[in-house]
Structure 1
Amino acid sequence: MDNAKLLIDSAVNAGCSAVKFQKRTPELCVPENQKGQKRDTPWGTMTYIDYRHKVEFSEAQYSEIDNYCKKKNIAWFASCWDEPSVDLMEQFDLPCYKIPSAALTNDKLVKYIVSQGRPVVLSTGMSTSEEIDHAVSLLNDSNYVICHTTSTYPCPIEEINLRMIQTLRSKFDSPIGYSGHEIGIPTTVVAVALGANLVERHITLDRTMWGTDQAASVQPVGLSNLVRHIRSIEKAMGDGIKQIYDSEQSARTKLRIYNT
């Protein structure tokens, strides 16, 4: 919990709009053939199902997170992997839910999340175009964002495929986001220039810490740099209408020889 609060602090200090957590019920989300597999963890060797329980926050801990985020004046929401997780999160009146890439083809869960009446962020990693089309059709008239992502941790740069942001923008009448799992921040900044309206990155206090996605995560200093660059890009994009700015007038007078 201490680390979670430090990560929230990092997001606040960087100027992020929100922080996201994951909630899942291990008995429902861990495949049967993986539950008994042994895994080396910071708490010793244990079965994968026991490990999944170990890394899940309890209802009381989420209440603590909710209170802490309110104190820090930052929104928070969650990726929900199953219906009981949605039920638990409902008490916190979250601004939206995220449907993780792993659950994009879970029609029952997608419909259940939509039925809560909250905005939805749909992540599209490890999915075909047909699977994405089908999942979007289940969102009906919901207020939603479709996030391009590649579900590899870390993602090789040649598999980021940022042009998918433009593909999704041309295909769907909704905001398009980008969930990045690459090393570094330049490609995430480019995603904004290509039209991403929402950006998500995993964050960590230290990339040398134990965990499967640490290499794909951004440390506090990098997060601050990322947000700063994104805000600059937002300002730099402009409106696409050519004009002569006041700051150009002196140069125009001094340097322009021919006028039509």
Structure 2
Amino acid sequence: MATLIEIDDPADPRLADYRDLRDVELRKNLETEHGLFLAEGAKVVRRAVEGGFAPRSFLMAPRWLDGLAEVLATTDAPCYVLSEALAEEVTGFHVHRGALASLARRPLPPVQEVLAGARSVLVLEEIVDHTNVGAIFRSGAALGFDAVLLAPRCADPLYRRAIKVAMGAIFTMPWTRLPDWYDALPDLSAAGFTTVALTLADDAVAVDEAVAGLDKVALVLGSEGHGLSPRWEQAADRRAVIPMREGIDSLNVAAASAVACYVAMRR
């Protein structure tokens, strides 16, 4: 069972994993260097542990201890107990969900392992907003997609904000990063997937038409700003668009992913 340790000093070095959570660049460097990530909120903490990620430690306000007792019983990691005011001083924001956990990252699996048995896959290119990445994972998981592949420059799915928005879907959806950006889509085609790029290209057809009758489909989504790169747009087997009202040409990438996933799963 986790050891409960009461903390009354915000400078306590044992709280290092939880400092300055609003500083994105600092957190990226710290979490990469130490091979950790943070889960926020009782539901997400529970799902992370149930997903097999090993806790390094927990940080909780007293009122959350009973609600996570069964999780704390599964590990001998320390649980730092401190007031909500002190937690805010350490983290830099109001921890209104009352519970945080620092967990160890796992090595990313190879692409072939993630694709094994998959029929519906999301492929993300240079989506840099953590909220969008988390929302895409959540939509994909909810609508029956089997896996997510990320280009090297995509935002980290294990960043706290992405995890929070995904509501733990990142712990259950198989995912990994693509080692080769340039030939990623031809490689997927060679593996038996039809790659369908969401784009405003002139030859794009309605997404329901693009995915109709396909056995294995890979939906390809581009960055928040310029969309897909010319390389990926042209390398895709098919190009698709979500038909919209005149005068509106696009949706936020997270919203577009939800619509396209719904249509694809009805194919």
- Tell me if both proteins adopt one fold, taking TM over 0.5 as the criterion: no
Q: Could you tell me the TM-score, scaled by structure 1's length?
A: 0.27
Ranked by relative contact order (alpha carbons within 8 Å, sequence separation 6 or more), the top structure is 2
Query: Which structure has more helix as a fraction of its residues?
Result: 1
Query: Which structure has more strand as a fraction of its residues?
Result: 2
